[in-house]
Amino acid sequence: MYYEAPTYPTCYLTPENFYTPEHRRDVFEACKATAEYSFTNNIEAVAFIDRAARPMWVGFREYWQSHHDKECPALFFLDPKGFCRGQQDSTTSSGLDIAHQDLPKLWGFRDRAVLIVDTCIHSGGTIKPVLGSLSKAGFGNVHFGVVYDYHNNSSINPDLVMLDHDPEGGCHPFGSYGNVTKHSNEHLYPEALQHYPGQTRDARAVRRQIRNIIKEFTKQEKRLPKTLGQLACH
């Protein structure tokens, strides 16, 4: 993992919020759709947009490791505000001129398939500068995925839409504990904040709950074929 961050003083979603079967199902289906899309399209790196999409990395990796023998794609986090620096209107931005030092680890994937993941898209103001900057930097095989796009008022058509309905939790289906800081004008990746042990505990609990959701529904899926076969015999 890269840029894994532990803490922040505000937690928007705690593990107790994953309490409805619908919400748990949405988390699983989104992680499943992203992992299967990545497998089918030979994605080698997945970058999650902070902060709403960040917790998804846990479910993505848990699902991947339980369903595929192939090595899991490299996982990154991107700070969308960093891509908007100096831009008056991010919805019309063609992106920044970025270099190796701006994204030192992701830079090595410029010639490979990369998937950028966000939870939603509205005006396009968050994702357009990111996609534009990567394109200008020579990333030639970039895919874009969202959990849902029912409120997409932009000109951007995602390559992957994970759910066919508005998810439980809206734009924050995986939680949005702010365990990282967004720099606005300094960096293109988030930084960890320290000295908030309570929020560290909450963030870990949310990640643990997402792992449990993937395990729970994976077990259900593995039991389903056997159950259907038993029914066919009667």
Structure tokens at 197: 């042990």
Task: Look at residue 83 in the predicted model and tell me its pLDDT.
Answer: 84
Question: pTM of the predicted model, to two decimals?
Answer: 0.83
pLDDT tens digits, residue range 57-83?
A: 999 999 999 999 999 999 999 988 888
CB 188 within 8 A of CB 97: no
Task: Look at residue 112 in the predicted model and tell me its pLDDT.
Answer: 97
CB 130 within 8 A of CB 101: no
Residue predicted with more confidence, 175 or 98: 98
pLDDT more than 70, % of the chain: 74
Parallel, antiparallel or unpaired: strands 142-146 and 114-118: parallel
pLDDT tens digits, residue range 73-127?
A: 999 999 888 887 666 666 667 788 888 888 888 999 999 999 999 999 999 988 9
Residue predicted with more confidence, 173 or 50: 173
**What angle (nearest 5°) sits at the alpha carbon of residue 178, between those of residues 174 and 184?**
115
- Mean of pLDDT values over 150-169: 93
Task: Look at residue 5 in the predicted model and tell me its pLDDT.
Answer: 34
CB 96 within 8 A of CB 84: no
User: What average pLDDT does the structure give for the chain?
Assistant: 81
Task: Look at residue 3 in the predicted model and tell me its pLDDT.
Answer: 33
Q: Would you list the domain boundaries of the chain?
A: 15-232
CB 52 within 8 A of CB 118: yes
pLDDT more than 90, % of the chain: 50
68-77, 123-132, 161-170, 203-212 — most confident range: 68-77
- 126-130, 195-199, 208-212: which range is least confident on average? 195-199
Asked if the peptide bond before residue 51 counts as cis, ω within 30 degrees of 0, the response is: yes
Kindly list the distances between the CA atom of residue 104 and the CA atoms of 3, 108, 161, 205, in Å, as whole numbers in the listed order.
12, 7, 29, 30
Confidence tier at 1 by pLDDT (50, 70, 90):
very low
- CA dihedral (28, 34, 35, 37) positive or negative: positive
* Number of residues assigned to the chain: 234
Confidence tier at 219 by pLDDT (50, 70, 90):
very high
CATH of 15-232 among 3.40.50.720, 3.30.70.360, 3.40.50.2020, 3.30.56.10: 3.40.50.2020
Confidence tier at 188 by pLDDT (50, 70, 90):
low
Q: At what angle do helices 21-40 and 197-232 cross, to 10 degrees?
A: 80
